[in-house]
Structure 1
Amino acid sequence: MIFTQWPWQHWAQRRGEAIALALNDQTLTWRQLCQQVNALAAGLAQQGISDGAGVALRGRNSPQLVLAWLALMQCGARVLPLNPQLPSALLEELLPTLNIDYALELGCDALLNNLPALALTPGEDAVTCDWQPNRIASMTLTSGSTGLPKAAVHSAQAHLASAQGVLAAIPFSPEDCWLLSLPLFHVSGQGIVWRWLLAGGQLAVRESVPLHEALRGCTHASLVPTQLWRLLNDNQPLTLNAVLLGGAAIPVALTDAATERGIACWCGYGLTEAASTVCAKRADGLPDVGAALPEREVKIVDGEVWLRSASLASGYWCNGTLVPLLNQDGWFATRDRGEIREGRLTVLGRIDNLFFSAGEGIQPEEVERVIATHPQVSQVFVVPLADSEFGHRPVAIVEGEADLDLNSLAVWVSDKLARFQQPVRWLALPPRFKNGGIKISRRALQQWVNSDAG
C-alpha cells in the first residue's frame, strides 16, 4: 500500500462509512475519525504546533491518547510518547537532549511543568501538514541497560514497512479488529496502530475493563502467554482468530489449547530500533523465532545478530542531530546473541547480560526460558550475584501466583538446568520494580540483589 495522503484521510475516502475505531462503547467510522483528527489537529496548530515541533505525549492508552497521536502527526510533530510512571528526575535530565517544545498530558497528573502545556481541543480553519512519509513521526525511548534511554527516531514510512512485514505473515483484513493491548509508549503498541492504519481495519481502545471484555468483537490481539492462559481457562466467549505472543516462553500446551478454540498463535523477535517485529512464525514450541519477515535481512557476525530493514530508525535523536544506527558495513548490530539454522533465527540473549560462574558462561535468558515454563511463574529474571569463590552465582527473581512456593522451584529445575545454571537464591520480585508496561531494569535488579537489601 502506497499512501498519497494521511492514512485516515485515505480510508475516509475509500471506506468512509466502515468502522475504524471502537472507543470504549463508542464507534467511529473512518469519515468520523478523519473529521475528529482534522479538528483536533487544527486546535493544536492554533496552539503553535507546526512541522518539526517536539511534543511529549504522556498518558495511558485511551481514546483521547490515540486521537491526540494522530492529530499531532498531522501537524508534523515529532511525537515522544512517555510512560506516566517515568520519574521526574529522569525526565528532567533526558528531555533537554531531545529538543521537546511542548507537553500534552492526558489522564495523569501534570508533571512536565517546565514545558508549555497543550490542550486537546478542536479548532477551525487551521493549516496542518501534508502527508510526507519520510518526515519524522515518532521518538521512542529504548530500554538500554546502562545510562539514559536513547530515543529512536522513525518516519511514518518506517512504521508502515514494519506493519507490512507483519501483515505479510499474519492476515489482517479490513473487517478484522485488533485490540490496542500494549501501551503507545512501547514500540509494540505503536506497531498495532500502524498495522491498523495500513490495513484499513478496526482498532479497539478500551479502558478500565477486564481483558475478556476489552476483547469483545476483536479478532486480533498482542498478549503474553499468561493472559492467553487465563482467557482460555476462564472459558470466556472469544472472537479471536490470531494472537501475537511475546514476553515469555510459549508452551505447546497453550498453543494447542488455543488452536482448539480456533486461535492461531504467533511469536517473534523485535526491537525498538526496528519499529517492532523483525522475525515471526506460528508458535510451535521450538526455541527459534522464525525467519526474517519481508524487507528484513538478518545475519550473525561473531555470534551477534545484525539487521538491515526498511523499518529501521533513522537514528537516535541527541541535541538536534541524528546519531546513526548503522555500522561501517551498513548493518545495525543489535547486541543480541543469536544463531541461524535453516534460515530461522534463535536469539540466545543480550551480549551485555552474559556473565561467568567458575569459568562457565551463563546467559540469563536461557535460564529464564526454562523457569518461565513453570505453570505458576508469570515472569522471571536471572542476575549475577558477586561471589569471592565463583566470581558470580545466578540468582532468580520471580513473579508468580500467590501460592507459589519459591523454595520448590530449586527442586523443580534440578533436572532441567545444568548445575552451574541453577540459581543459588530465589527471590520474589518487589513491587517497586514493576514499571507499568515497560521493561524492568536488569541493572536495577542486579544492584538490589548485590546490596544489603537484596
Structure 2
Amino acid sequence: GNQPRTLLAWLALMQCGARVLPVNPQLPQTLLEALVPKLTLRFALTLEGENAFSGLTALQIQKSTAAYAVDWQPQRLVSMTLTSGSTGLPKAAVHTCQAHLASAQGVLSLMPFGPQDDWLLSLPLFHVSGQGIMWRWLFAGARMTVRDKQPLEQMLAGCTHASLVPTQLWRLLANRAAVTLKAVLLGGAVIPVELTDQASKQGIRCWCGYGLTEFASTVCAKEADGSDDVGAPLPGREIRIVDNEVWLRAASMAEGYWRDGKLIPLVNDEGWFATRDRGDLNHGRLTIAGRLDNLFFSGGEGIQPEEVERVINAHPLVQQAFVVPVEDKEFGHRPVAVVEYASQAGDVNLAEWVRDKLARFQQPVRWLTLPSELKNGGIKISRRALQQWVCENCKN
C-alpha cells in the first residue's frame, strides 16, 4: 500500500535526478533475481521488510534542511515501470517527465480536476494507474491524499476524486458513504449503467477508459454511458486498427523498454506500438474485444475468452471469471471456466445461467473454482498459470 513516505521518497528521488523503478512487494524473489541484473540498477530503497536487493547499494531516507534539486528537464528518463506481461519476464517501460505530464493533461482535458480538488492515491505507485494520479496532481497543482491503509470510507474522507473498481463504488454507494466524492475514474471491465445512475443520484460523475503501462496509463476515456466502447482517444493519442489489432502512438508513450543499459524501441517499422489487443473503431470510439493472444478456436468457431468472461462476470455472485481452452480431439479446443465466487455464494448453477446468454460453442464444458494459490497478490492473475492448472485438473 502507499504510505505518505512512499510518495515523499518517490518525489525526493525524482528531485535527485534518479530513474525510479517501483517494485511490487509481492513479486517472488526468484523473479526479482531474474529481472534485476538486466535493469542496470545501482541503488535500492526498501521502505519496509527485508532488503530483497542484496547486490545493490542500500539507500536510507533522512530529513534534510538543505534544498537539492537537479534542473528540470522534461526529456529526462524518470520512471521504469514493470509491465504485467502474460508471457515471459515483465519488461520495464521507461517514461520521461514529459510523457507522464502528457498523460495527465489528456485525462484532465476530459475530467475536471482543479486546485481545490483532492484525489485519493488509492492505487499502488508500482502501477501506472497509481503513477497517473500522482502526475495529475502535479500537473493540476491540486491536492492529493495519501493515507495509511484503512477502510476505504475513512481513506476517502474529504476527497473529491478517486480511482476505484466498480465493486468499491457499489459498496460506498450502498453505505451512502461517498459524501465528498464528485468524480470517479473507474477501472476494470464493462461498467454497469445501474452503478453510474446510482452514483449520479449521489452527485458523483463516473469516467472509464482504456490504458496501458507503455502509455503511462489512460489512452482513451469517456464519461461512463453504459455502452461497451472505451471512448475516444484523448488529446495527444492516435489509434489505428490493422488486421483487427489496435495500434497506438502518443505523447505519453514510453521511450522504450530498458534492458542491459539500453532502450529497446517499442514501436514497429511504421512508428506505431502494436498492442496485441483486438479492437475496432466506430465513429472515433474504440471497442476492445480482448487480447489477440487469448483467441482460440473450437470446432472452427473463434472464441475470445474476454467476451465469455464478461457475461459470466455479470452474475451477482461472481467476483471474477476466466475462460481458458483445453485440448479436445473432436473440437481442437473447448472452453473451461474458472470462477471466483462471492463469499456468500451457495450453489450457483452458472451453466444454466449462461445458456441463453452465450452461443453454444462459447458455453464452458466445465466449471472450476479458482484456487487460492493462483491469486498471487498482483492485480492480474496470470493466464498462463491458470491454463497449466486447468490442464492438470482436466486430465483427472
Check the 8 A contact 1:249/1:373 in 2, yes or no. Answer: no
Aligned to 2:89: 148
Instruction: Point out where structure 1 has 5 or more consecutive residues left out of the alignment.
Output: 1-59
Check the 8 A contact 1:406/1:427 in 2, yes or no. Answer: no
Could you say what the CA RMSD is over the residues aligned between the two structures, in angstroms? 1.5
Determine what percentage of the aligned residue pairs are the same residue.
67
1:72 equivalent to 2:9? Answer no
Give the deviation of 1:141 after TM superposition.
0.5
Give the deviation of 1:369 after TM superposition.
1.3
**Counterpart of 2:121 in structure 1: which amino acid?**
L
**Counterpart of 1:133 in structure 2: which amino acid?**
P
TM-score, L = length of structure 1: 0.84
1:167 equivalent to 2:108? Answer yes
Aligned to 1:402: 343
Aligned to 2:360: 419
1:348 equivalent to 2:289? Answer yes
Task: Report the Cα distance in structure 2 between the residues aligned to 1:182 and 1:453, rounded to whole angstroms.
Answer: 36
Structure 1 residues 453 and 386, CA, compared in 2 at 3 Å: closer, same or farther?
closer
Q: What CA deviation, in whole Å up to 9, does each residue of 1:40-96 have, x standing for no partner?
A: xxxxxxxxxxxxxxxxxxxx3111100000000111111000000000101001011
Give the deviation of 1:441 after TM superposition.
0.8
Task: Report the Cα distance in structure 1 between the residues aligned to 2:178 and 2:304, rounded to whole angstroms.
Answer: 40
Aligned to 1:98: 39
Name the SS of the counterpart of 1:444 in structure 2: helix
Matches within 5 A, 1:306-345: 306-345=247-286
1:359 equivalent to 2:359? Answer no
Check the 8 A contact 2:156/2:178 in 1, yes or no. Answer: no
Aligned to 2:171: 230
Give the deviation of 1:109 after TM superposition.
3.3
Segments ≥4 residues shifted beyond 6 Å? none
Aligned to 1:430: 371
Q: What CA deviation, in whole Å up to 9, does each residue of 1:342-363 have, x standing for no partner?
A: 1100001111111111111111
Quick one: which of 309, 316, 332 aligns to 1:391? 332
Aligned to 1:54: none
Quick one: which of 50, 70, 73 aligns to 1:129? 70
Quick one: which of 378, 382, 389 aligns to 1:448? 389
TM-score, L = length of structure 2: 0.97
Check the 8 A contact 2:26/2:378 in 1, yes or no. Answer: no
Structure 1 residues 205 and 228, CA, compared in 2 at 3 Å: closer, same or farther?
same
Structure 1 residues 86 and 64, CA, compared in 2 at 3 Å: closer, same or farther?
same
Aligned to 1:85: 26
Check the 8 A contact 1:406/1:426 in 2, yes or no. Answer: no
Give the deviation of 1:438 after TM superposition.
2.6
**Counterpart of 1:212 in structure 2: which amino acid?**
E
- Higher mean Cα deviation, 225-234 or 426-435? 426-435
Give the deviation of 1:234 after TM superposition.
1.7
Q: What CA deviation, in whole Å up to 9, does each residue of 1:380-435 have, x standing for no partner?
A: 22111222222211122222311224641111111111111111222222222223
Aligned to 2:160: 219
Give the deviation of 1:180 after TM superposition.
0.8
Quick one: which of 232, 236, 251 aligns to 1:295? 236
Give the deviation of 1:248 after TM superposition.
2.2
Aligned to 2:227: 286
Aligned to 2:209: 268
**Counterpart of 1:83 in structure 2: which amino acid?**
N
**Counterpart of 1:346 in structure 2: which amino acid?**
T
Give the deviation of 1:280 after TM superposition.
0.4
Name the SS of the counterpart of 1:349 in structure 2: strand
Give the deviation of 1:368 after TM superposition.
1.2
1:205 equivalent to 2:123? Answer no
